[in-house]
């Protein structure tokens, strides 16, 4: 729901909430849902349908949604991919790298890496060459919301990016892509 509605900040809170509270050291027990903070009239957090010893699967799904979100079109058919749409901003601080290797998607296996330098981001993607991948977007959620000023794709200027949403539209592209975004 959060990924489908572009609630990146809330998805990040869910990720860290599951990691900090739902992955209790030594037990890995949580409910199907859990509050991040105590609810009114209670001194502690609440869980719904505990115990759930497979809470780590919910955590892994949330982690995957921060990195790869599969889109569906009319009738629920697979339509596209949104990459790094909810990556926590701190993960894209200068000197850091985020990488996805050979992840299975509806469209085939996908890999990408995002390496952040002081004033630019270098992205390498290996996108499956399938005709039904209609939408392919990459979001660069940089710390402090610094806007993208310029994008190059495979060494040439590329104008399909939106500064306000921090998103580069790579729809229609596949194979090996090398992108550099300046900010």
Span 123-163, pLDDT tens digits: 999 999 998 899 999 999 988 878 899 999 999 999 999 99
- Give the residue, 78 or 60, on which the prediction is more confident: 78
Query: Which residue in 130, 183, 122 sits closest to 154, CA to CA?
Result: 122
Instruction: State the average pLDDT for the chain.
Output: 85
- Give the residue, 6 or 125, on which the prediction is more confident: 125
Q: Cα(43)–Cα(38) distance, rounded to whole angstroms?
A: 6
Give this prediction's pTM: 0.79
Q: What is the pLDDT confidence band of residue 27, given thresholds at 50, 70 and 90? A: low
Q: What is the pLDDT confidence band of residue 48, given thresholds at 50, 70 and 90? A: low
β-pairing, 135-139 vs 150-153, is: unpaired
Q: What percent of the chain has pLDDT over 90?
A: 56
pLDDT attached to residue 28:
55
pLDDT attached to residue 68:
96
149 touches 166 (CB < 8 A): no
pLDDT attached to residue 167:
95
pLDDT attached to residue 41:
76
**Rounded mean pLDDT, 172-177:** 95
Q: Cα(173)–Cα(61) distance, rounded to whole angstroms?
A: 26
**Rounded mean pLDDT, 57-77:** 86
181 touches 148 (CB < 8 A): yes
**Rounded mean pLDDT, 92-110:** 95
């Amino acid at each position: 729901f959060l990924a489908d509605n572009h609630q990146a900040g809330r998805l990040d809170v869910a990720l860290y909430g599951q990691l900090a509270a739902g992955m209790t050291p030594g037990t890995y027990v949580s409910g199907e849902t859990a509050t991040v903070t105590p609810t009114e009239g209670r001194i502690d957090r609440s869980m719904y349908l505990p115990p759930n010893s497979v809470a780590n699967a919910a955590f892994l799904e949330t982690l995957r949604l921060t990195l790869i979100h599969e889109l569906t079109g009319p009738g629920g058919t697979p339509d596209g991919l949104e990459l790094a749409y909810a990556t926590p901003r701190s993960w894209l601080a200068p000197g850091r790298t985020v990488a996805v290797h050979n992840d299975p998607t509806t469209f085939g296996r996908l890999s990408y890496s995002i390496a952040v330098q002081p004033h630019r981001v270098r992205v390498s993607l290996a996108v499956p060459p399938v005709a039904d991948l209609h939408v392919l977007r990459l979001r660069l959620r940089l710390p402090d919301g610094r806007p993208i000023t310029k994008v190059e794709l495979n060494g040439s200027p590329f104008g399909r990016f939106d500064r306000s949403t921090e998103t580069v539209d790579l729809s229609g592209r596949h194979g090996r892509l090398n992108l550099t975004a300046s900010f």
